[in-house]
């Protein structure tokens, strides 16, 4: 009995000792029931108190607890992984102890907000550079949603001067933001004031909404003033070729005298010595040759700054048949322009003041454009110095049956019937022309014939015979004198029918025109608007009739043929 009393006393002492050691620890408890953490994740802490041994279990694998069991008072770390989604998510941690009420802790993690963030939202770029390869800038963007690029310009801006390069943002981490670099190409600023563009980065999906708009503001410096000197010519040319977007850019990093596509005036040029062109033109641009461009606009306005330009050749634009470009007036301000070629460019009209070039132009080449008629302003009266006129191949589309001519809303190119339109007759009366090229157009009807006295038509005279060297062309006397100076005439691959008029068959330059190929040959299997096969009724089979008419020519041309 005494031993039993001692045992109870020992147990009571042990129990009392335990209660004293765990003083303050009773039922299972945690010091917080809610944890909120950001999308990047991280570690939070809480304290667990329990007189009994406890364990903790998380409902989601992205939450972990350490330690996950214990007894008494324990500090636990709650580790939350970063999220890959935009939406908020939550998990529960259940703390349990034998005989105790379980405790729940809710972990809430916010998602990544849908975002497009431009690292530097404002940027200033130069007005120009010497090298096309340097005309770009880059922007660093952080995003977690697909986006698209839209560029806005000032209302007065007519040129789209920023072009985004193709880009692909790989969002391989769900909604976790990724950083990428975008490239933008830019064009030279030709205005003498700065300009601003706003690059908007917009969610590709309509349902995505940004808390803060993503905008990159780009300010381009004003263009330097184009001065009336050699440096001004250089800047004007650089601007022109940039705006025309040449497919083969010029190398302009060296002095302008070494550029391959231009010619400068020199002190030894005849026009300088004679005073026709002033001395101040020396070193300035005399000729410019621009090939293979990509534009939907007219020749850039800076062309007018090439004050002493004598020859301008611009040829070959992209997708010409789809374009309808109206030539601007700036080229008409060139006081020394003699030779102008704007070919395969997409032109459909000339400005009214094009006639200002009339007392200067000697050659005009508008071939391979989209005119639907020959401009009425092109007359001997308006252009008395013109020697060469070229309208070859002014076709938008290729067709061999003109009964289908109305199938294209934007027209088929130069088309008219000589019986209804006097454009060809007007050109053939231009007696000072030395070259007229009209090949490969949709001109149908007869080649006009002429009578002496009509429209001022004169006759070949004895004086003309004398000028040609005696009796070589004496049989022409009394016949209509048409195009007496025409060294080259091409009317082939059109849709002519009827008879060749005598003024063609007996023209003193006929054999120089290579008539078999460049006059008689019309569109192969061509059908005119009336359904008639195009060809001439009286095409010569040889030139015996011609040599009989011009006896002196037999020796000249037969010897040439033998040599060939």
Alpha helices in 145-268 (DSSP H): 230-244
State how far the Cα of 112 lies from the Cα of 160, in Å rounded to an integer: 35
End-to-end Cα distance, the chain: 150
Please enumerate in sequence order all residues whose Cβ is within 8 A of that of 221, keeping only pairs 6 or more positions apart, or say none: 124, 125, 126, 127, 189, 194
Q: Mean pLDDT in each 10-residue stretch from start to end of the chain (564 residues)?
A: 43 40 71 88 94 94 94 94 81 93 90 85 88 86 90 86 87 79 89 92 89 93 91 92 87 89 97 96 97 92 95 96 94 97 97 96 98 96 98 95 90 96 97 97 97 93 87 89 97 98 96 96 96 96 94 80 48
Q: Is the dihedral of CA 281, 283, 287, 292 positive or negative?
A: negative
Superfamily of domain 116-220: Immunoglobulins (2.60.40.10)
Which DSSP symbol is given to 12?
H
Closest among 225, 245, 221 to 235, alpha carbons compared: 225
Helix (H) or strand (E) segment spanning residue 201: strand 195-203
Specify whether the backbone of 24 is left (phi greater than 0), alpha (psi in -120 to 50) or beta.
left
pLDDT at 225: 87
State how far the Cα of 276 lies from the Cα of 268, in Å rounded to an integer: 13
Superfamily of domain 28-109: Immunoglobulins (2.60.40.10)
pLDDT at 559: 61
- Do the first three CATH levels of 28-109 and 116-220 match, i.e. the same topology? yes
Instruction: Give 3-state DSSP helix, strand, coil % of the chain, rounded to 5.
Output: 20, 30, 50
Closest among 182, 121, 103 to 148, alpha carbons compared: 182
At 139 the three-state DSSP class reads strand
Tokens of 399: 């067709």
State how far the Cα of 542 lies from the Cα of 505, in Å rounded to an integer: 11
Do residues 460 and 467 touch, judged by C-beta distance below 8 A? no
Alpha helices in 420-494 (DSSP H): 423-428, 462-467
Q: Which residues pair with 58 in a beta bridge?
A: 93
- Please state, in angstroms and as integers, the Cα–Cα distance from residue 224 to each residue in 48, 132, 194, 232, following that order: 74, 18, 10, 9
Please enumerate in sequence order all residues whose Cβ is within 8 A of that of 562, keeping only pairs 6 or more positions apart, or say none: none
- Please state, in angstroms and as integers, the Cα–Cα distance from residue 521 to each residue in 425, 492, 505, following that order: 20, 5, 14
Q: What beta strand segments (E) does 81-135 contain?
A: 89-97, 103-109, 116-118, 122-125
DSSP per position, 175-237: TS-EEEEEEEEE----SSS-EEEEEEEEESSTT---SS-EEEEEEEPPPPP--SSHHHHHHHH
Phi/psi of residue 360, each to 5°? -125, -45
State how far the Cα of 246 lies from the Cα of 485, in Å rounded to an integer: 38
pLDDT at 516: 96
State how far the Cα of 285 lies from the Cα of 289, in Å rounded to an integer: 11
State how far the Cα of 97 lies from the Cα of 25, in Å rounded to an integer: 13
Q: Could you tell me the residue ranges of all domains in the chain?
A: 28-109, 116-220, 371-563
Exposure string over 22-31, b if 16+ CB within 10 A, otherwise e: eeebeebbbe
- Please state, in angstroms and as integers, the Cα–Cα distance from residue 140 to each residue in 116, 121, 182, 315, 510, following that order: 10, 9, 6, 40, 69
Cis peptide before 67 (omega within 30 of 0): yes
Do residues 507 and 483 touch, judged by C-beta distance below 8 A? yes
């Amino acid at each position: 009995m005494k031993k039993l009393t001692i045992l109870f006393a020992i147990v009571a002492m042990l129990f009392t000792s335990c209660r004293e050691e765990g003083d303050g620890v009773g039922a299972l408890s945690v010091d917080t029931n809610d944890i909120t953490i950001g999308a990047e994740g991280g570690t939070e802490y809480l304290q667990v108190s329990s007189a009994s041994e406890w364990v903790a279990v998380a409902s989601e694998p992205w939450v972990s607890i350490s330690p996950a069991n214990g007894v008494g008072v324990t500090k636990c770390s709650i580790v939350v992984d970063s999220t890959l989604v935009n939406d908020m998510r939550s998990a529960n941690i259940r703390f349990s102890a034998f005989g105790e009420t379980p405790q729940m802790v809710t972990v809430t993690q916010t998602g990544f907000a849908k975002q497009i963030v431009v690292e530097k939202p404002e940027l200033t770029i130069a007005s120009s550079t010497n090298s096309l390869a340097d005309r770009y800038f880059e922007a660093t963007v952080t995003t977690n949603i697909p986006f698209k690029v839209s560029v806005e310009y000032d209302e007065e801006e007519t040129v789209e001067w920023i072009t985004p390069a193709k880009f692909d943002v790989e969002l391989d981490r769900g909604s976790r933001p990724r950083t990428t670099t975008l490239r933008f190409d830019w064009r030279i600023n030709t205005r003498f004031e700065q300009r601003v563009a706003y690059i908007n980065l917009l969610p590709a999906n309509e349902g995505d909404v940004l808390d803060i708009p993503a905008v990159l503001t780009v300010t381009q410096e004003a263009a330097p003033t184009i001065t009336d000197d050699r440096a001004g010519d250089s800047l004007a040319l650089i601007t022109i070729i940039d705006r025309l977007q040449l497919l083969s850019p010029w190398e302009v990093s060296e002095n302008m005298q070494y550029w391959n596509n231009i010619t400068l005036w020199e002190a030894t040029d005849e026009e300088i010595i004679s005073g026709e062109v002033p001395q101040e033109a020396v070193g300035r641009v005399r000729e410019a040759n621009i090939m293979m461009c990509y534009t939907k606009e007219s020749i850039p306005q800076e062309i007018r700054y090439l004050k002493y330009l004598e020859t301008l050749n611009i040829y070959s634009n992209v997708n010409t048949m789809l374009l309808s470009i109206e030539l601007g007036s700036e080229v008409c301000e060139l006081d020394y322009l003699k030779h102008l070629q704007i070919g395969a460019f997409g032109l459909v009209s000339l400005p009214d003041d094009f006639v200002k070039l009339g007392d200067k132009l000697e050659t005009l080449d508008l071939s391979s454009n989209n005119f639907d008629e020959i401009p009425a302003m092109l007359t001997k009266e308006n252009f008395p110095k013109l020697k060469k006129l070229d309208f070859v191949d002014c076709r938008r589309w290729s067709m061999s049956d003109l009964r289908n001519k109305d199938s294209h809303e934007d027209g088929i190119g130069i088309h008219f019937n000589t019986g209804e339109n006097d454009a060809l007759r007007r050109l053939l009366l231009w007696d000072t022309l030395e070259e007229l090229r009209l090949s490969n157009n949709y001109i149908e009807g007869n080649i006009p014939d002429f009578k002496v006295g009509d429209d001022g038509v004169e006759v070949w005279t004895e004086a003309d015979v004398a000028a040609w060297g005696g009796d070589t062309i004496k049989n022409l006397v009394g016949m209509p004198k048409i195009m007496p100076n025409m060294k080259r005439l091409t009317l082939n691959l059109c849709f002519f029918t009827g008879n060749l008029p005598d003024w063609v068959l007996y023209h003193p330059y006929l054999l120089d025109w290579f008539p078999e190929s460049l006059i008689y040959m019309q569109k192969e299997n061509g059908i005119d608007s009336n359904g008639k096969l195009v060809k001439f009724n009286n095409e010569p089979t040889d030139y015996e009739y011609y040599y009989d008419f011009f006896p002196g020519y037999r020796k000249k041309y037969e010897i040439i043929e033998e040599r060939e």
